Structure 1
Amino acid sequence: MIDWLRRPDRQPASPRPIAPRAITVAGREMPLVIRRLAQARRMTLRLSPDGGEVRVSIPRWGRVGDAEAFARERSDWLAQQLRRVPERASVTEGSHVPYRGEALQVAWLADAPRKPVLDDGMVVLGGPRESLQARLARWLESEALRLMADDLAHYCARAGKAVPRLALSRAQRRWGSCAADGSIRMNWRLVMAPDFVRRSVVAHEVAHMTHFDHSRAFHAHLAELYEGRIEDANRWLKREGRALYRLFG
């Protein structure tokens, strides 16, 4: 991520929606998403976890033209980030699948149940070999829903909130979201991350049930809800998050 600071000449009365744009990175045309954030004090540039879009966040007083130029001037840096996005891989017998921060070896046995079962550092399943990857993905999603439902109940209790509807997301660019009606969607791929990372995102979305922004009050509330260091979880996602998109494309 790249930061760039610019002081305001004046405060705009109300930010207007920013039309979608595009940018060419390493010969590839990509969406350029520019967002105004009320709490932002500087311009930040990053690549989405799956490498599918370029994102620039700007303060309320930021200029869209500056943001676009900021991204284009750093196309070489973006190309470097794009090269770091892991290539997609298939899951076969003997592959390793991340689960709650651990690498499980996939073991196929002809007489094993079709549904995957954990067994001493392995995930064991039978059934047709050709549907092995699809069944592992469904198992991971069911595990994600189970674990995230527990996380959600825990943090809602801490926040004094009723537990909202929970749904899984297959989003390519967001880890979680909290809708205006309070319902929460969580990226199922977080089941592959360590528990403290997954739980930090659930806590983040629960905090939005009280503060529907990223203000200081929001961050203070999140710090009260989440037991660990939110900085550690964010750092893990920035460093390792793209790897969660390598499998089960």
Structure 2
Amino acid sequence: MLDWLRRADTRAKETPAPRKVAARVIVVGERELPLVIKKLGHARRMTLRLAPDGSEARVSIPAWCRVGDAEAFARDRADWLAGQLANLPEARHIAPGASLNFRGEMLVIQWTEAARRKPVIDAGHLIIGGPQESLSRRLQRWLESEAMWHFGVDLAHYCAKTGHDVPRLALSRAQRRWGSCASDGSIRINWRLIMAPDFVRRSVVAHEVAHMTHFDHSPAFHAHLDTLFEGDVGAANRWLKRHGRSLYAQFG
């Protein structure tokens, strides 16, 4: 009797399998592209974007908007998405002999099993040893480590100029945003910026530090940023607009 009750209790606690929901796709040219629709409480209109790596189309809509309208919105702009896909940089794989961007410089990966596991830069080459099968993973960890160090130096520099205490810093893996400053003052910077030229990376850090004084994009904010950043903010923004997607050509 007790055994029967135990079995019955086990069956009662079983949770039915969740019902599968078909993924949304949109036909772009000759391929099907995943379509991600997200409702945002602060959105006032529908916006369509292509993921930086071209893996999916994304529509942001106001909370009151219907999903069906968002799907139609994306379908009507399939030609625009096709143009965006055509402009994506060619994917580059991490392998011996391939190139890797670091601080705006193109380095050739020179792998030798007997070399040190920690990468060494020498005359346009990135020399690295260790297991070849973990090469991509180890190089990404190295880039993230370099990013954290350089971002930290940049952050301390701009905080000193503004008189702010250095806030908590973290790396971001966002698909679109290069940096963010939270209401508690903590700052996140996209790790891929370590592959961009120094002035581009530093402009993003300066931008987020400027938000510690002006938590908006008002004229006062831009005036403050112009005095804080030693370079040309416009040139840095143009570089990101023109080449930003190329930073997603490696490491997925």
Normalised to the residue count of structure 2, the TM-score between the two structures is 0.76
Q: Which residue of 2 aligns with 1:202?
A: 205
Partner SS for 1:168:
strand
Matches within 5 A, 1:112-131: 112-131=115-134
Q: Which residue of 2 aligns with 1:99?
A: 102
Looking at structure 2, the residues matched to 45 and 120 of structure 1 have their Cα atoms a distance apart, in angstroms, of: 43
Looking at structure 2, the residues matched to 228 and 23 of structure 1 have their Cα atoms a distance apart, in angstroms, of: 43
2:234 is equivalent to residue 247 of structure 1: no
Looking at structure 1, the residues matched to 59 and 220 of structure 2 have their Cα atoms a distance apart, in angstroms, of: 25
Q: Which residue of 2 aligns with 1:182?
A: 185
| Closer/same/farther in 2, CA of residues 92 and 102 from structure 1, 3 Å limit | same
Matches within 5 A, 1:1-249: 24=26, 26=28, 27-31=32-36, 47-51=50-54, 52-54=56-58, 73-249=76-252
| Closer/same/farther in 2, CA of residues 188 and 129 from structure 1, 3 Å limit | same
Q: What is the alpha-carbon root mean square deviation over aligned residues? A: 3.0
Looking at structure 2, the residues matched to 206 and 175 of structure 1 have their Cα atoms a distance apart, in angstroms, of: 13
Residue type of the partner of 1:237?
A: L
Looking at structure 1, the residues matched to 215 and 156 of structure 2 have their Cα atoms a distance apart, in angstroms, of: 19
Structure of higher CA gyration radius:
2
| Closer/same/farther in 2, CA of residues 75 and 220 from structure 1, 3 Å limit | farther
Identity fraction in percent: 60
Task: Describe the superposition over 1:155-187 as per-residue Cα deviations: whole angstroms up to 9, x where unpaired.
Answer: 111122110011111122211111111111111
Task: Describe the superposition over 1:168-217 as per-residue Cα deviations: whole angstroms up to 9, x where unpaired.
Answer: 11122211111111111111000000001111111111111111111111
Q: RCO greater where, 1 or 2, for CA within 8 Å and sep 6 or more?
A: 1
| Closer/same/farther in 2, CA of residues 81 and 153 from structure 1, 3 Å limit | same
Partner SS for 2:188:
strand
Whether contact under 8 Å (2:47, 2:61) holds in the other structure is yes
Looking at structure 2, the residues matched to 23 and 111 of structure 1 have their Cα atoms a distance apart, in angstroms, of: 47
Task: Describe the superposition over 1:20-39 as per-residue Cα deviations: whole angstroms up to 9, x where unpaired.
Answer: xx89461424335687999x
Partner SS for 2:130:
coil
Whether contact under 8 Å (1:107, 1:123) holds in the other structure is yes
Normalised to the residue count of structure 1, the TM-score between the two structures is 0.77
Whether contact under 8 Å (2:210, 2:224) holds in the other structure is yes
Shift of 1:146: 0.8
Structure 1, unpaired ranges of 5+: 1-21
